[in-house]
């Protein structure tokens, strides 16, 4: 099946929605859609792989200028990749992800290069697809890596000091951004009784600058207790309850 690359903008996003495994009618996707439309004016790019055969999207990539990245990273003068996704699994390892990465590389010609954060955990791309496309690891922290592919010799991106932000947080905190559509589902699943009992403070990161100063590298969802990060991406309500039991 041949897939074609389509540039998504505010006019055609309803026809080519980058759904992140989520139904476009879901609340989380609608919230993400509002976030996307606001970021278009700041240089956000979304490209999808679309099949004329089954009229479906089988992959997408989301990237923007590094100064606008919603991750705990300093990547000024680079393009920064937020997400890359291929679906279903039968389409993986066929070179489709590389097609999307090369689209980003083409758009980076006026920049120092392209940067991305990968992870060995879920909800983030694995480093291997980027290494395959000429990226190099320049920094690692736990299961996460910062990779770049440079167009010219220039200052390197780096992780922000998220641990400094963690130390400031006493008690229970949930800190999130709407960059990830799954966050809305997590918030809707929260047990209000537990939130009240533990006096959990819930804070939305509303700007890229705030997200870059998140208490975790990924930054889209931070569950923190007394300066300790307990989760940094979507988890089920059951898992959250199990975490709370261990912490209390």
147 contacts 137 by C-beta, under 8 angstroms: yes
pLDDT (tens place) for every residue of the chain, 248 residues total:
689 999 999 999 999 998 887 888 899 999 999 999 999 999 999 999 999 999 999 999 999 999 999 999 999 999 999 999 998 888 888 899 999 999 999 999 999 999 999 999 877 899 999 999 999 999 999 999 999 999 999 999 999 999 999 999 999 999 999 999 999 999 999 999 999 999 999 999 999 999 999 999 999 999 999 999 999 988 998 999 999 999 98
Both tokens of residue 112?
């120092």
The DSSP output letter for 239 is H
Instruction: Count Cβ atoms below 10 Å from residue 234 Cβ, excluding itself.
Output: 20
CA angle 66, 68, 74 (to 5 degrees): 45
Q: How far apart are CA 51 and CA 68, in angstroms?
A: 31
**pTM, 2 dp:** 0.95
Q: How far apart are CA 200 and CA 223, in angstroms?
A: 10
Q: How far apart are CA 84 and CA 61, in angstroms?
A: 4
Instruction: Count Cβ atoms below 10 Å from residue 13 Cβ, excluding itself.
Output: 17
Burial of 196 (0-12, 13-18, 19+ CB in 10 A): exposed
DSSP 187-225: HHH--HHHHHHHT-EEEE--SHHHHHT-SSSS-SEEEEE
Both tokens of residue 102?
């090369």
**pLDDT score at 35:** 96
**pLDDT score at 81:** 98
Name the class of domain 3-159.
Answer: alpha beta
**pLDDT score at 240:** 93
4 contacts 12 by C-beta, under 8 angstroms: no
The DSSP output letter for 155 is P
Q: What are the sequence ranges of the domains in the chain? A: 3-159, 162-247
**pLDDT score at 56:** 92
- DSSP reduced 3-state for 244: helix
CATH of 162-247, one of 2.40.100.10, 3.30.70.120, 3.40.190.10, 3.40.30.10: 3.40.30.10
The DSSP output letter for 24 is T
10 contact partners, CB below 8 Å, separation of at least 6: 37, 40
**pLDDT score at 125:** 92
Q: How far apart are CA 174 and CA 172, in angstroms?
A: 7
């Amino acid at each position: 099946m041949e897939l074609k690359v389509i540039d998504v903008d505010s006019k055609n996003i309803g026809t080519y929605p980058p759904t992140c495994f989520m139904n476009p009618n879901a609340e989380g996707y609608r919230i993400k859609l509002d976030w996307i439309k606001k970021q278009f004016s700041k240089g956000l790019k979304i490209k999808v792989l679309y099949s004329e055969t089954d009229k479906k999207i089988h992959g997408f990539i989301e990237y923007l200028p590094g100064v606008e990245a919603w991750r705990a990273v300093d990547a000024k003068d680079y393009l920064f990749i937020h997400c890359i996704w291929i679906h279903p699994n039968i389409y993986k390892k066929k070179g489709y992800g590389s097609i999307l990465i090369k689209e980003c590389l083409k758009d980076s010609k006026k920049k120092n290069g392209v940067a991305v954060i990968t992870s060995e955990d879920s909800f983030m791309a694995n480093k291997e697809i980027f290494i395959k496309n000429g990226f190099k690891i320049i920094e690692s922290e736990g299961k996460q890596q910062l990779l770049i592919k440079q167009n010219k010799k220039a200052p390197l991106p780096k992780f922000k000091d998220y641990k400094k932000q963690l130390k400031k947080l006493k008690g229970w905190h949930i800190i999130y951004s709407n960059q990830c559509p799954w966050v809305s589902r997590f918030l809707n699943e929260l047990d209000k009784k537990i939130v009240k009992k533990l006096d959990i403070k819930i804070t939305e990161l509303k700007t890229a600058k705030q997200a870059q100063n998140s208490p975790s590298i990924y930054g889209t969802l931070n569950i923190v207790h007394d300066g300790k990060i307990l989760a940094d991406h979507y988890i089920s309500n059951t898992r959250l309850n199990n975490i709370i039991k261990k912490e209390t």
